[in-house]
Amino acid sequence: MNLKTSVTKAPRANGASTAMSASGAAVIVKPVSNAIRILRHLTQTGAPERAADVARHLSINPSTCFNILRTLVAEEVVDFNALSKTYSAGLGLTRLVEHLVTQGQRLQLATPLMHELAARFGVTVTLWRRIGIDRMVLVSSESSPTDLHIGMPAGQRLPILMGASGRLFAGSLGLSDEQLRDEFDQLRWARPLSFETYMREVTRAKRRGWASDDGYFATGVLAIAAPVRDPSTGISFTVSTVMIRGDRDEAAVETLGNAVRDLAQHLETVIFRRVQALPHIPPAR
């Protein structure tokens, strides 16, 4: 079932190390090298460590290692836990590299999360992106590993008010009821749906954080969708699940709706890298 990289030489300050020797060979600046080794070690181990342990593992003078760690904490790329006196890779390190990651790559990170939900509930999970003011496009789809599932190929486009996702967009476009009605009247539904019923479902979706379409978009298909908001709080994507209509009772639908809403909130972090700042903890003295 188918629903489509001149190198420039800068002036050198007195006492600064040069990066090239007279012969042109690279010169290793030891403190910089050690700082990078420390960062690499902390990210690879994934567990907080004391300064003495880091120094021992990397064969760095303990005093030198401690001073480098203090500097990295001050630069917010390493976190320090004052209670356990341990260091770990900080969220500031993520901020240094996050601009290197394209949104397309971030979308790939969403795939395993979508697959997990699809497998857990036996549904097809889709990710829709808003394009322009009146359309959305399917950018990703994960089906459940079952014999019976609904296949939805990426690339298909729909009017922005259509389906469960449409009910989410309808409540965020800032259109008047009259404008929404004009757009609604141009839609073709699989079974009769009044504008009044549609708007009640829009209001309900705002209240509970997810929307549903019970066979109006596609015959025999129940869809549940939740908004994936960008940093400006606008809806840039929606994550939706589709399944055979009538397969679940009201309580099961409610459970799935809440799970889709939770997934959407997780995808906001994955797609838009919403890194939350941690309270600043001064280095140990």
Q: Residue 14: pLDDT above 50?
A: no
Mean pLDDT of 196-204: 96
Q: Residue 145: pLDDT above 70?
A: yes
Amino acid at 38: I
Task: State the alpha helices, DSSP H only, in 12-58.
Answer: 30-45, 51-58
Q: Which residues contact 189 (CB under 8 A, 6 or more apart)?
A: 216, 217
List the one residue out of 272, 182, 275 whose CA is nearest residue 227.
272
Phi-psi region of 36 (alpha: psi -120 to 50; beta: other; left: phi over 0): alpha
Q: Considering only 56-60, 170-174, 184-188, 209-213, which range has the smallest mean pLDDT?
A: 170-174
pLDDT bracket for residue 5 (50, 70, 90): very low
The rounded mean pLDDT for the chain is 82
**Residue 261 corresponds to which tokens in the numbers above?**
């809403």
pLDDT bracket for residue 282 (50, 70, 90): very low
Q: What is the structure's pLDDT at 103? A: 63
pLDDT digits (tens, 9 = 90+) for 34-79: 999 999 898 887 778 999 999 999 999 999 999 999 999 998 889 8
Phi-psi region of 209 (alpha: psi -120 to 50; beta: other; left: phi over 0): left
Q: Residue 180: pLDDT above 90?
A: yes
pLDDT bracket for residue 222 (50, 70, 90): very high
Is the pLDDT higher at 3 or at 129?
129
| Whole-prediction pTM | 0.61
Q: Residue 263: pLDDT above 80?
A: yes
Torsion of CA 228, 230, 231, 234, to 10 degrees: -100
Measure the CA–CA gap between 119 and 142, rounded to whole angstroms.
Answer: 9
Is the pLDDT higher at 162 or at 22?
162
Q: What is the structure's pLDDT at 102? A: 62
Q: Which residues pair with 79 in a beta bridge?
A: 88
Q: What is the structure's pLDDT at 155? A: 82
Q: Which residues pair with 238 in a beta bridge?
A: 128, 227
pLDDT bracket for residue 148 (50, 70, 90): low
CA 66 to chain centre: 35
Q: Considering only 14-23, 52-61, 250-259, which range has the smallest mean pLDDT?
A: 14-23
Measure the CA–CA gap between 66 and 51, rounded to whole angstroms.
Answer: 6
Is the pLDDT higher at 106 or at 201?
201
Mean pLDDT of 158-182: 93
Mean pLDDT of 185-200: 95
Q: Which residues pair with 87 in a beta bridge?
A: 49, 80
Q: How many CA atoms lie within 13 A of 192 on its CB side?
A: 1
pLDDT bracket for residue 149 (50, 70, 90): low
Sign of the CA dihedral running 37, 38, 40, 45:
positive
Q: Residue 20: pLDDT above 80?
A: no
Q: What is the structure's pLDDT at 105? A: 73
SS3 assignment, position 130? strand
Axis-axis angle for helices 30-45, 51-58 (nearest 10): 110
Q: Residue 236: pLDDT above 50?
A: yes
Strands (E), the chain: 78-81, 86-89, 124-131, 135-142, 157-159, 211-214, 221-229, 235-244
Measure the CA–CA gap between 247 and 214, rounded to whole angstroms.
Answer: 12
Cβ-contact 135, 160 below 8 angstroms: yes
Q: Residue 26: pLDDT above 60?
A: no
Q: Considering only 85-99, 163-177, 181-195, which range has the smallest mean pLDDT?
A: 85-99
